[in-house]
Amino acid sequence: MIVTVTPNPAVDYTVTLAAEPAPGEVLRTDRTRYDAGGKGINVSKYLDALGRETLATGFLGGFVGEHLETQLASAGLPASFVDIDETTRLNTTLLAPDAEYKINQTGPTIDAAAIESLLGTLCERDPETVLVAGSLPPGIDTATVDRIATAGEWKTVVDLGGDVLGELSAGYALCKPNRVELEEATGRSVDSVDSAIAAARSLRDRGFERVVASLGSEGAILVSDDRAVHAPALDVEVVDTVGAGDALLSGVLGGFARGETDEEALRTGVAVATRVVGVSGTRVPSLGDVRETRERVSVVPR
């Protein structure tokens, strides 16, 4: 089982506009979506669609938290969240004809009792892999993430901000930065696939067995030991980039859970991400036939 921990979940509110917003102008639309979001939750949704055993957990509170929990239950996604008093985030994405705008809330404060309850949930489930993903709300710091990594025998994967990755001290099976996070975590410029691989190798030396980095239009890389592989992005119509990195990670983790090699897992990750960018919001596209997309993904050693 892969348990995903989303410390700072959200309901993702996506609005599609017919025109670019301008100061003082009132725009109207009936094209809106409310999706249960947060990096860990997204990964669990994609893993579930891929047929992998998963459980989503983290912290939920208030009317937004109730809505999110109801959505997950309606979708049949296994979940066990810790209840908190403050209200869960509502994150907004505006999809205009020529641009994408994002407004993310900071999130509620998490107290020590809630953290202990989360650790208890993890120990009770005793999964093979634990993923900690997304932003850290007030009350959660790198020491908390390190506690999660050392609280059981599971392998721990992280998808966190670059500043957080640079401060973790426990051992981790894998991390998944994007280009900007890779730069923040290592202090290196990442302007090409080769420079991304060099930065990923530097990050590996800090205690990450594998580094998977998403590079936007340049695809993704996976670095482990002295090996590095690169998968160029497929040429497809991009509707929305929300959840693309989470989809990549879910494919990689699902691949490893099936015993795939680094090359195979990266190919699966890029295939899932390709499907996800073709739909708006963080809703889950059909992944039952993702193998067809996977066969189009090329992976080359670097």
Residues that are catalytic:
246
Asked whether 25 and 104 are in contact (CB, 8 A), the reply is no
Torsion angle of C-alpha atoms 15, 293, 72, 81, degrees rounded to 10: -110
Kindly state the DSSP code that residue 273 receives in the 8-state scheme.
H
By the 10 Å C-beta count (0-12 exposed, 13-18 middle, 19+ buried), 76 is classed as: exposed
Residue closest to 207 by CA, chosen among 145, 121, 293, 294: 145
Residue closest to 45 by CA, chosen among 211, 238, 242: 242
6: left (phi over 0), alpha (psi -120 to 50) or beta: beta
